[in-house]
Amino acid sequence: MIGRLNHVAIAVRDLDAAVATYRDTLGATVKPPLPQPEHGVTVVFVELPNSKIELMSPLGEDSPIAAFVERNPGGGIHHVCYEVDDILAARDKLKAQGARVLGTGEPKIGAHGKPVLFLHPKDFLGTLVELEQV
């Protein structure tokens, strides 16, 4: 069911410092920051030859990553994102197997403008999993 590893997301408090780590220290190609007020985050994509790292920092009052960044002030891996062809079929198959889909269970339009869902980390080896329809 799952396809490509679309990205690994790392949440940080200080996005400028995170950009410097990936651009200057690790020598990767880093895109400009994209504020996404509707998602409560500012994201920066690190472009690797086969995948992406998504650096994220909280934006606004009710950021969904505020608590994570509070718990992990130095940053930490927040989620992994796998691509699927049909997100509703994927959701229904996962729910039928007992996996928990977060939120309402209806896909939202994610940071890349495509439908996404998040799966409960307790059902996926302690890893928050995003599914993105491509």
Rule CB under 8 A: which residues touch a second copy? Answer: 1-5, 8, 10, 12, 18, 21, 24-28, 48-51, 53, 55, 72, 74-77, 80, 82, 93-94, 97, 99, 121-127
**Distance between CA atoms of 119 and 129, rounded to whole angstroms?**
5
**CA neighbor of 53 nearest in space, from 82, 84, 30:** 30
By beta-carbon proximity to a second copy, the closer residue of 95 and 108 is 95
Is residue 94 within 8 A of residue 105, CB to CB? The reply is: no
Q: Report helix, strand or coil for 84.
A: strand
By beta-carbon proximity to a second copy, the closer residue of 5 and 67 is 5
Identify residue 15 by its one-letter amino acid code: L
Q: Whole-number minimum distance, CB 110 to a second copy, in Å?
A: 18
Dihedral, 106, 124, 111, 36 alpha carbons, nearest 10: 100
Q: List the alpha helices (DSSP H) in the chain.
A: 15-20, 66-71, 87-96
Positions marked catalytic: 130
Is residue 122 within 8 A of residue 100, CB to CB? The reply is: yes
Q: Whole-number minimum distance, CB 111 to a second copy, in Å?
A: 18
By beta-carbon proximity to a second copy, the closer residue of 12 and 111 is 12
Q: Whole-number minimum distance, CB 87 to a second copy, in Å?
A: 13
Q: Whole-number minimum distance, CB 64 to a second copy, in Å?
A: 18
By beta-carbon proximity to a second copy, the closer residue of 36 and 72 is 72
